């Protein structure tokens, strides 16, 4: 029963629409058009309509999108219905930055705990979140029903952490360590490699310099 699912690039844009709508709602807007969203986000209006068409029919022809209706639709599509918890493994600078990061709350997401094996870090509190020893991770995940995990450890430790997360029942993982990991079939795994992003950026610098020279 494999429903087609939302294409990856579209899915990546839905959270942007969501955040825009939250802000529009706070600003008192009741209705917005794909054109207006496109202007604000720097995307073609046709692309936004196409993306939203993968959800239910949420707009009104001739009128636009009701902010509340579209927010509900996006919440439903993304599975942000209830407050969602996430854990971070690795309580170094990056892990601490994530725990302190306010940006997750718009989406009703919250880092609930950090895990690390460094005795110097265990017992710390970061932005109100405890740093716990790794061996408590499975029980915490189980007890709190956590489904999302973020890996913020060095590359050499990352695969072991991913394995532990999978064993603990985590359903989706965002890996920030500079290593390509694997996870069993049913678990969704994505990589974000900031150093590689920066290295790719250097290409455009060189390219630009050439055009001028």
Residues that bind DNA (CB under 7 A): 7-10, 32-35, 44-47, 49-50, 52-53, 57-65
Report the site for its own copies in 111-150 (rule: CB under 8 A).
147-148, 150
**40 makes contact with its own copies (CB under 8 A):** yes
Task: Give the DSSP letter of residue 183.
Answer: -
What span, in angstroms and rounded, lies between the C-alpha atoms of 135 and 137? 5
Query: Are 83 and 50 within 8 A, CB to CB?
Result: no
**5 makes contact with its own copies (CB under 8 A):** yes
**174 makes contact with its own copies (CB under 8 A):** yes
CB of 209 to its own copies, least distance (A): 8
Residue 64 binds what, of DNA, its own copies, none (CB under 5 to 8 Å, by partner type)? DNA
Contacts for 183 with CB less than 8 Å, ≥ 6 apart: 162, 163, 165, 166, 173, 189
CB of 79 to its own copies, least distance (A): 3
84-89 sheet: strands from edge to edge = 125-126, 129-133, 109-116, 84-89, 148-151, 172-175, 188-191
Q: Binding residue for its own copies (CB under 8 A) from 1, 27, 63, 120?
A: 1
């Amino acid at each position: 029963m494999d429903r087609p699912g939302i294409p990856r690039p579209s899915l990546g844009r839905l959270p942007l629409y969501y955040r825009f709508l939250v802000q529009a709602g706070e600003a008192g807007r009741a209705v917005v058009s794909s054109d207006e969203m496109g202007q604000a986000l720097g995307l073609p209006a046709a692309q936004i309509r196409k993306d939203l068409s993968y959800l239910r029919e949420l707009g009104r022809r001739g009128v636009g999108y009701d902010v509340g209706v579209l927010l509900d639709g996006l919440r439903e599509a993304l599975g942000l219905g209830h407050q969602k918890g996430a854990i971070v493994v690795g309580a170094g600078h990056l892990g601490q930055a994530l725990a302190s990061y306010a940006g997750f709350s718009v989406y009703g997401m919250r880092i609930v705990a950090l895990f690390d094996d460094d005795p110097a870090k265990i017992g710390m509190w970061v932005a109100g979140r405890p740093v716990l020893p790794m061996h408590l991770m499975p029980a915490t995940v189980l007890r709190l029903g956590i489904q999302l995990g973020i890996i913020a450890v060095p590359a050499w430790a990352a695969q072991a952490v991913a394995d532990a997360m999978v064993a603990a029942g985590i359903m989706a993982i965002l890996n920030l360590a500079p290593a390509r990991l694997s996870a069993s079939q049913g678990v969704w795994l994505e990589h974000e490699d900031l150093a590689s992003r920066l290295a790719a950026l250097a290409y455009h610098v060189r390219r630009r310099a050439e055009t001028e020279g």
